[in-house]
Structure 1
């Protein structure tokens, strides 16, 4: 049965921005923002802001959060939620976190949570959001939504099934993390870290070890479906791969004009050099590689493969995170090409590098076999 937002949500409100209201960094109460909400979990750590008791009282006059309410991230990871499990004591929310009190005679909190995991809902959030660096959605856009709400008994069945599926997925994620930890441990065993190498290796800069280091196209491209020419940016690089399902197809003439500067080939190393996912990387391996134009958020390193195995370089970045850690006065961190060029790494014998690459290949085969 179709239900409107107003029928499902009895009360919708937000927290409070400090501005002229209170100061951050004083007191022992946690000030919850979108960064603390992830996959129905409230993550409170040393990076969480704090406020004093007076601030909490002031915020609570507006938020009125209580046990059973749903917290909703309105910016960044839009749609991520947390169902408040206990009476909130010692914490409250900022204005980018929405709080919903549901009519539980109509909808279960967990069913409402899963509605916002569905692709059609995520597409609605994306298409009705605004902002450049970080997308956000306004409350009035959410209030235009309608939902398919089955009877409570059916909701309970759906939630039970989805909980089981999500548990399996989470177990799989943990298994993959363990396998990645195994690769990291093997890397450190064979090579050590840049600060503490396993033996005395020769050193060289990435400029010396690469035939070419460049970034992608500055500015946009004209979208044109059916060209099979792809414009790949930071969002397409994750889980060690380039994901083409979200990459826009672009005009062939524009592709040809800019491709020479950033001509990707199989075996090239790609690393995100701008934004929240800085440091994510992939080795070009897809057959669509030579039909790919990079956006400015991705850097291309054409390694001299007689000196450097791309897989070794990839895990050198994974283990030695300081290689891509940057300090920036702007909101958008940027790993400059000049820093990449000047980065000095150790260069083990190719036999050792290839042994490590073979080990990674075997572990990755294990990931694939267990998945299927």
Structure 2
């Protein structure tokens, strides 16, 4: 296999355009913010405030700003409007190479290590990769047939990953729809204290050394689903309280987080061993007349979340708190225990399906990482 530099394969000649010169013209603009949506902005020349560069379908864009974030994009022509790109992209054009193969190589850990090794700027979002240095970086150039094969395999895995992610989202939506179907017509409300006896916090201590006793991080509930990997070591000489131990069936609630994430809640389907509660998370003490899975689902309803955001306080722009009386005072639907348990059984069955999908996702991610290493390592 031949090894060439980026400059040796790159046929792109930079051409700048001032969109303000044609204020009524619409453009397909490949901006950095639009990367996450995987679709360029459709904007008029009047809306674009600075000069941009021309690109064409098949060009490969490597983001130079904050190169620690892996952003590589293949240009598609989605409309009849002229194509433009932000100057924050390094554009690579090679008519003899598969652009998707280049995308995968430029996304590989070996290339990213190079890209982040020579940057300018202070740090974080202010760093930039240096185009003159990037031009010197090596690119493995196998035969076109091999490029097509590699790109095809990796694109197929990405398609499967997307479908699996979509399937988990559909399962989540199914649970939400079932909640509304069963309880949407109920008008009688009660405070959360009707279901929850108390909210108990743990203790946050961090140990430097590896320890069998762990304490949860706040991120354990971030996505309203329990993440047992979000832990840190407790000090080896600290004896945690049994009441602080995480148990199967617990409902965990974030009492302090960003405005968007404060009040995030999770149900512990399977408790990790010797893992304990921190001070920023509460364990809900559920009354005997309530079902924990139902309470978890009540807490993550959009209406409950909105009320939590309204009562959250804090002088910090980034971190908000909720008080125990504030949370327990939020009014929610009054549902009898039998109906709660019926719904909980449905949630449990749906979660089994979700776990199977997530296991498939994990296996695909491992396969993708292994192939990336094989092809580009």
TM-score class, shorter: 0.5 to 0.7
| Deviations 1:42-64, CA, capped at 9 Å, x for gaps | 165xxx9x6x625637321xx44
| Deviations 1:282-309, CA, capped at 9 Å, x for gaps | 322444264245485xx33424142443
**In the alignment, what sits opposite 1:84?**
75
Question: CA contact under 8 A between 2:252 and 2:265: conserved in structure 1?
Answer: yes
Asked if residue 234 in structure 1 is aligned to residue 219 in structure 2, the reply is yes
CA distance in 1, matches of 2:287, 2:231: 30
**In the alignment, what sits opposite 2:209?**
224
**In the alignment, what sits opposite 1:19?**
none
Q: Matched residue of 1:42: which SS? A: coil
**In the alignment, what sits opposite 1:195?**
none
| Deviations 1:308-346, CA, capped at 9 Å, x for gaps | 433223322443255157489999654522354543322
Asked if residue 288 in structure 1 is aligned to residue 263 in structure 2, the reply is no
| Count of residues in Structure 1 that have an aligned counterpart in Structure 2 | 342
Could you state the TM-score of these two structures normalised by the residue count of structure 1?
0.68
Say if 1:138 and 1:225 are closer, same or farther in 2 by CA, change over 3 A.
farther
Question: CA contact under 8 A between 1:129 and 1:135: conserved in structure 2?
Answer: no
**In the alignment, what sits opposite 2:50?**
58
CA distance in 1, matches of 2:268, 2:118: 33
Trace 1:33-44 onto structure 2 (pairs within 5 A): 33-38=31-36, 41-42=38-39
Residue 101 of structure 1 deviates from its aligned partner by: 1.9
Q: Matched residue of 1:362: which SS? A: helix
Deviates more, 1:141-150 or 1:355-364: 141-150
**In the alignment, what sits opposite 1:101?**
92
Question: CA contact under 8 A between 1:323 and 1:343: conserved in structure 2?
Answer: no
Q: Matched residue of 1:38: which SS? A: helix
Residue 84 of structure 1 deviates from its aligned partner by: 1.5
Could you state the TM-score of these two structures normalised by the residue count of structure 2?
0.67
CA distance in 1, matches of 2:210, 2:109: 22
Say if 1:213 and 1:157 are closer, same or farther in 2 by CA, change over 3 A.
same
Asked if residue 316 in structure 1 is aligned to residue 303 in structure 2, the reply is no
Residue 87 of structure 1 deviates from its aligned partner by: 8.1
Q: Tell me which of 282, 294, 319 is aligned to 1:300.
A: 282
Asked if residue 360 in structure 1 is aligned to residue 351 in structure 2, the reply is no
Asked if residue 252 in structure 1 is aligned to residue 235 in structure 2, the reply is yes
How big is the alpha-carbon RMSD for the aligned residues of Structure 1 and Structure 2?
Answer: 5.0
Question: CA contact under 8 A between 1:206 and 1:345: conserved in structure 2?
Answer: no
Question: CA contact under 8 A between 1:216 and 1:294: conserved in structure 2?
Answer: yes
Residue 360 of structure 1 deviates from its aligned partner by: 1.0
**In the alignment, what sits opposite 1:343?**
330
